[in-house]
Chains A and B, each alone.
Chain A
Amino acid sequence: MAKVAATTADRRTVGSSLAGRIFNVTGIYGIAILFLALGALLEATGVIHRFLTPENMLNIVNAATMVGIVAMGMAFVTYSGNFADMSVPTTMGFTGYICIALLKFGFLPALLGAVVAALLIGLLNGFVVGKLKANPIIWTLAVNYMTMGIIRLVWVNKQIYPDMQQGVGAGTVALFDDIYRYRLFGTIGLPIVILAVMVALGQFVLTKTSFGARLKLIGSSLRAAKFTGVHVERLVAAAFVLSAFAAAVAGLAVTSLTRVGAWYNGTGYDFMAVTVVVIGGVTLAGGRGSILGVLGGALIIGILNNITTLLGIGTFSQNMIRGAIFIVVVGINAKSLRSLGRDDA
């Protein structure tokens, strides 16, 4: 009478809906193709023009590249369960200033100096969040403003230009300009090559090294990792250093593109990168997702930005749309994980 009936229905079986099934087969790239189809549809109905052209596709890739690079590093922070590195914008700006200021010592020393400066910021973040257990969002946000303050203090609120620095040869300036503009085989931009290398390396590190395996444990349960003898502090610090490194690369590329060292060079990249990371399937809860997914997330944001620009939607409205998408993705993610019985959140 009071026997509990056996049941074959299981909420945890995946992909009961059509959308769910498509997503499970094609993953993030299926969604990217859906967005492309949406753009093509808008073009076919005459709402936007010149969407499916080679030049425009290149535009999309270029737009996705910068935020993609930042997201490659940010993904490690999110994966480690520390949500996001909000110090990315001024780390990018700072790197540009340092590089331009050091150009007089030669191109390579300048690059090196800029990257080292960024890594120091990453190390500071890693120490304070990893060792001292500060709230990652609040702390990195504070570092963001602190770095901005340093930039404004040192350069007295001035922007600096590579070709107006004393003692910098034209050759060096040309090299600096080439960071963004160099074309491999005359077609593929250097940032795209860098992104490809970072994706390959990132995917390798996350899935095929002991660092990746341990970061997964840390992201899934910090305490369990600690009680397994994992050097939690060091590895969390390493995640922040990787994020700072990626921000440095993106910062150099942006500064090369704009040919000016300015504090606002990285503005907006923090939230854009988190959106890319989260859309790409690296959940805010940590320990889940992949670098290939993040690349897909970058493409989706690239396509979305492109379509909204072609539609003539202003920057502010674009931000709003991105914010809305972020909320929807995080919501869907949390809900589906919970109903799959995979999340205790």
Chain B
Amino acid sequence: MERVSKRFPGTIAVDEVSFEVYAGEVHALVGENGAGKSTLMKMLAGSFDDYTGAIRINGREVKLHTPTMAKKYGIGMIYQELSLARPISIAENLLAGRLPRKGPFLDKGAIKKQARALLKRVGLDLDTDLPIEDISQHEAQLVEIAKVLGNNPCILVMDEPTSALSHEEVERLFEIIKTLKNRGISIVYISHHLPEVFRIADRVTVMRDGKKITTKPIAEITREEIVQMMVGRSVKEFYKRDERAIGGPRLVVEGLSRFGFFHDVSFEARRGEILGICGLSGAGRTELARVLVGLDRADEGRMELDGRELKGSSMADFLGQGVAYLTEDRKTEGLALRLPVDDNILAPIVDRLTAGLFYSKRRGEATVKRLIGELSIYPPDPSRPVGNLSGGNQQKVLLAKWLASEPKLLILDEPTRGVDIGAKMTIHSSIEKLAREGVAVILISSDLPELVGLSDRVMIMRKGHFTREMSFAECTEESLLLAANGEGVA
């Protein structure tokens, strides 16, 4: 790939990046969220027909404008989200689009044989007639790989392939990668997880803010150097902490359970404190948040906000008591993309803008203007539909919406997922400002530098339980990750 660029409205996602992969090499691609890794790889997969620059495969320039073209040139993609159809069988998934036939009928015998051969390549021995929904997540991940291998790719792109896998399964995946490599297949390996990168990759390319920072053989670079290049400055520098006065308890939670999701959770969040919650996906973090904000009911336990019991039958009741929840899913749950910026920001405070029978958007004009300024939302036009804004600015609007509600307790679920570094910094400083004003902030995040950098304390959540609490001093990215995985000294 030579000097390839891709623009989205308002941002350049990938800016003149040149990138090469040798045959039989594992090439790691690292960078923070929003660095442009996925966009770069989507270009390779033929997802965009409007990129600039050139892509060459084996020296020949190719145009990759559709996924079919990419497939034809031997590019295989394995995405984070599985592309398998859940109710149909493994065999049919594996051979989708090219099921062997005998005359007008499907050739059941050949299907089974070919499917088994493919499964064997990834070391799986399963009944190929089982539907995908009956096998485990990691088996499905391997089936996905087998499916892509079925197209005989010469370049294989893996996007965070280990995020859903356990330790042993990761080992198995690495074995498979080694075999593929020996067969001369080039592998692009996208990962956040640096230890993995050091184990498996031959060379590594670091990206930041849509630009390539460097490409180096793995032996010539250290972990610290990579982190530094990814972040652009060291983490401690990046999060310049200023002292906040932490006050008395604001939210007190005692023995809270929602059966099947989390059990016997107790903690308190204090005024002016940013309390991080760390855990793998599925640990029950979002489920806990949903109960704290009244979207779901608790089966056991009680919650108290400023000494008064927090209860109600709907989210509106909790909202009225001063709780706000920024959802992790900005596009479907957070914002009404078709509505303009101001309607979105004012949505939680419709009641406050209503006098008697009369609702007036104009009464909220000043609030909207102030928040657009504070969060430097671009373009600063309250009447622009939110869907036309860049991801980072959408996320700022979502935060502005909950800032408008002036909460006592703000629960943030992945507040900077998929946003560019500039928006991230704005959002972080806004969160800190909120804490300085005495709001208790609960920060749920998978972004470890973010947790380490912002939190005063971090609670580790694992399989529905709070397993550990770490003070700011104890927190490092590694210690959090180990704790979340249930390892390390307890």
Q: A342 and B385 in contact (CB under 8 A), knowing A208-B358, A221-B338, A224-B334?
A: yes
**B89 is an interface residue with CB less than 8 A from chain A:** no
Q: Are B360 and A214 in contact (CB under 8 A)?
A: no
**A293 is an interface residue with CB less than 8 A from chain B:** no
Q: A224 and B332 in contact (CB under 8 A), knowing A2-B52, A216-B339?
A: yes
Q: Are B347 and A217 in contact (CB under 8 A)?
A: yes
**A158 is an interface residue with CB less than 8 A from chain B:** no
* Residues of A close to B319: CB separation below 8 A: 229
A342–B388 Cα distance when bound, in Å, is 8
A63–B348 Cα distance when bound, in Å, is 42
CB proximity to A under 8 Å, residues B341-377: 343-344, 346-348, 350-351, 353-354, 357-361
Q: Residue of B at shortest CB range from A345?
A: B338
Annotate B301-314 by CB proximity to A: 1 below 8 A, 0 otherwise: 00000000000001
* Residues of A close to B359: CB separation below 8 A: 208-210, 212-213
Q: Could you say which of B3-11, B192-200, B482-490 contacts chain A?
A: B3-11
A3–B4 Cα distance when bound, in Å, is 10
Minimum CB–CB distance from B6 to chain A (whole Å) comes to: 9
- Which of A213, A214, A287 neighbours the largest number of chain B CB atoms within 10 Å of its CB? A213
CB proximity to B under 8 Å, residues A114-168: none
Q: Give the total of A residues in contact with B, Cβ under 8 Å.
A: 31
**B73 is an interface residue with CB less than 8 A from chain A:** no
A192–B316 Cα distance when bound, in Å, is 40
* Residues of A close to B387: CB separation below 8 A: 341-342, 344
**A59 is an interface residue with CB less than 8 A from chain B:** no
**A50 is an interface residue with CB less than 8 A from chain B:** no
Residue from A3, A12, A209, A228 in contact with B347 in the complex, judged by beta carbons closer than 8 Å: A228
* Residues of A close to B332: CB separation below 8 A: 221, 223-224
Annotate A324-345 by CB proximity to B: 1 below 8 A, 0 otherwise: 0000000000000000011110
**A4 is an interface residue with CB less than 8 A from chain B:** yes
A227–B293 Cα distance when bound, in Å, is 10
Residue from A2, A229, A287 in contact with B314 in the complex, judged by beta carbons closer than 8 Å: A229
A1–B4 Cα distance when bound, in Å, is 10
A287–B347 Cα distance when bound, in Å, is 14
Q: Residue of A at shortest CB range from B359?
A: A210
* Residues of A close to B334: CB separation below 8 A: 224, 227
Q: Residue of A at shortest CB range from B324?
A: A229
**B335 is an interface residue with CB less than 8 A from chain A:** yes
Q: A217 and B336 in contact (CB under 8 A), knowing A2-B53, A210-B351, A231-B316?
A: yes
**B242 is an interface residue with CB less than 8 A from chain A:** no
Q: Are B338 and A4 in contact (CB under 8 A)?
A: no
* Residues of B close to A318: CB separation below 8 A: none
Minimum CB–CB distance from A12 to chain B (whole Å) comes to: 8
Annotate A254-273 by CB proximity to B: 1 below 8 A, 0 otherwise: 00000000000000000000
- Which of A209, A210, A288 neighbours the largest number of chain B CB atoms within 10 Å of its CB? A210
**B191 is an interface residue with CB less than 8 A from chain A:** no
**B16 is an interface residue with CB less than 8 A from chain A:** yes
A213–B360 Cα distance when bound, in Å, is 9
A344–B387 Cα distance when bound, in Å, is 8
Q: Are A2 and B3 in contact (CB under 8 A)?
A: yes
Q: Give the total of B residues in contact with A, Cβ under 8 Å.
A: 43
Q: Are A227 and B339 in contact (CB under 8 A)?
A: no
Q: Residue of B at shortest CB range from A343?
A: B338
Q: Are B316 and A208 in contact (CB under 8 A)?
A: no
Annotate A3-45 by CB proximity to B: 1 below 8 A, 0 otherwise: 1100000001000000000000000000000000000000000
Q: Are A229 and B316 in contact (CB under 8 A)?
A: yes
Q: Are B388 and A341 in contact (CB under 8 A)?
A: yes
Residue from A213, A223, A228, A342 in contact with B338 in the complex, judged by beta carbons closer than 8 Å: A342
**A308 is an interface residue with CB less than 8 A from chain B:** no
Q: Are A341 and B385 in contact (CB under 8 A)?
A: yes
Q: Are A216 and B343 in contact (CB under 8 A)?
A: yes
- Which of B319, B332, B357, B359 neighbours the largest number of chain A CB atoms within 10 Å of its CB? B359
Residue from B12, B16, B337, B354 in contact with A221 in the complex, judged by beta carbons closer than 8 Å: B337
**A190 is an interface residue with CB less than 8 A from chain B:** no
Q: Are B318 and A229 in contact (CB under 8 A)?
A: yes
Residue from A1, A209, A213, A344 in contact with B3 in the complex, judged by beta carbons closer than 8 Å: A1
A280–B141 Cα distance when bound, in Å, is 50
Q: Are B318 and A220 in contact (CB under 8 A)?
A: no
* Residues of B close to A179: CB separation below 8 A: none
Q: A230 and B336 in contact (CB under 8 A), knowing A4-B5, A209-B357, A217-B343?
A: no
Q: Residue of B at shortest CB range from A288?
A: B338
**A225 is an interface residue with CB less than 8 A from chain B:** yes
A210–B349 Cα distance when bound, in Å, is 10
A226–B294 Cα distance when bound, in Å, is 11
Q: Are B338 and A344 in contact (CB under 8 A)?
A: yes
**B265 is an interface residue with CB less than 8 A from chain A:** no
Q: Residue of A at shortest CB range from B319?
A: A229
* Residues of B close to A229: CB separation below 8 A: 294, 314-316, 318-319, 348
Q: Are A217 and B339 in contact (CB under 8 A)?
A: yes
A214–B351 Cα distance when bound, in Å, is 10
Q: Residue of B at shortest CB range from A218?
A: B336
Residue from A12, A224, A230 in contact with B333 in the complex, judged by beta carbons closer than 8 Å: A224
Q: Are A209 and B335 in contact (CB under 8 A)?
A: no
Q: Residue of B at shortest CB range from A209?
A: B359
CB proximity to A under 8 Å, residues B421-466: none
Q: Are A287 and B338 in contact (CB under 8 A)?
A: yes
A343–B386 Cα distance when bound, in Å, is 11
* Residues of B close to A228: CB separation below 8 A: 315, 347-348, 401
Residue from A209, A227, A341 in contact with B354 in the complex, judged by beta carbons closer than 8 Å: A209
Minimum CB–CB distance from B413 to chain A (whole Å) comes to: 10
* Residues of A close to B335: CB separation below 8 A: 221, 224
**B295 is an interface residue with CB less than 8 A from chain A:** yes
Q: A221 and B5 in contact (CB under 8 A), knowing A209-B358, A228-B348, A229-B319?
A: no
Minimum CB–CB distance from A243 to chain B (whole Å) comes to: 21
* Residues of A close to B388: CB separation below 8 A: 12, 341-342
Annotate B221-259 by CB proximity to A: 1 below 8 A, 0 otherwise: 000000000000000000000000000000000000000
**B128 is an interface residue with CB less than 8 A from chain A:** no
Minimum CB–CB distance from B295 to chain A (whole Å) comes to: 7
Q: Are B350 and A221 in contact (CB under 8 A)?
A: no
Minimum CB–CB distance from A254 to chain B (whole Å) comes to: 31
**B189 is an interface residue with CB less than 8 A from chain A:** no
A208–B319 Cα distance when bound, in Å, is 23
**B327 is an interface residue with CB less than 8 A from chain A:** yes
Q: Residue of B at shortest CB range from A233?
A: B314
Q: Residue of A at shortest CB range from B357?
A: A209
- 7 smallest CB-CB distances across A and B, nearest first, come from A221-B336, A220-B336, A229-B315, A229-B319, A229-B316, A227-B333, A210-B354
Interface, chain B (partner A; CB < 8 A): 3-5, 7, 12, 16, 52-53, 294-295, 314-316, 318-319, 325, 327, 332-339, 343-344, 346-348, 350-351, 353-354, 357-361, 385, 387-388, 401
A–B Cβ pairs within 8 angstroms, 12 of them = A2-B4, A209-B354, A212-B359, A213-B361, A220-B336, A224-B347, A225-B336, A228-B348, A229-B315, A229-B319, A285-B338, A288-B338
11 further interface pairs, Cβ-Cβ under 8 Å (given A208-B360, A213-B350, A287-B339): A2-B16, A210-B354, A217-B336, A220-B336, A221-B335, A224-B334, A224-B336, A225-B347, A227-B315, A229-B319, A285-B338
Interface, chain A (partner B; CB < 8 A): 1-4, 12, 208-210, 212-214, 216-217, 220-221, 223-231, 285, 287-288, 341-344
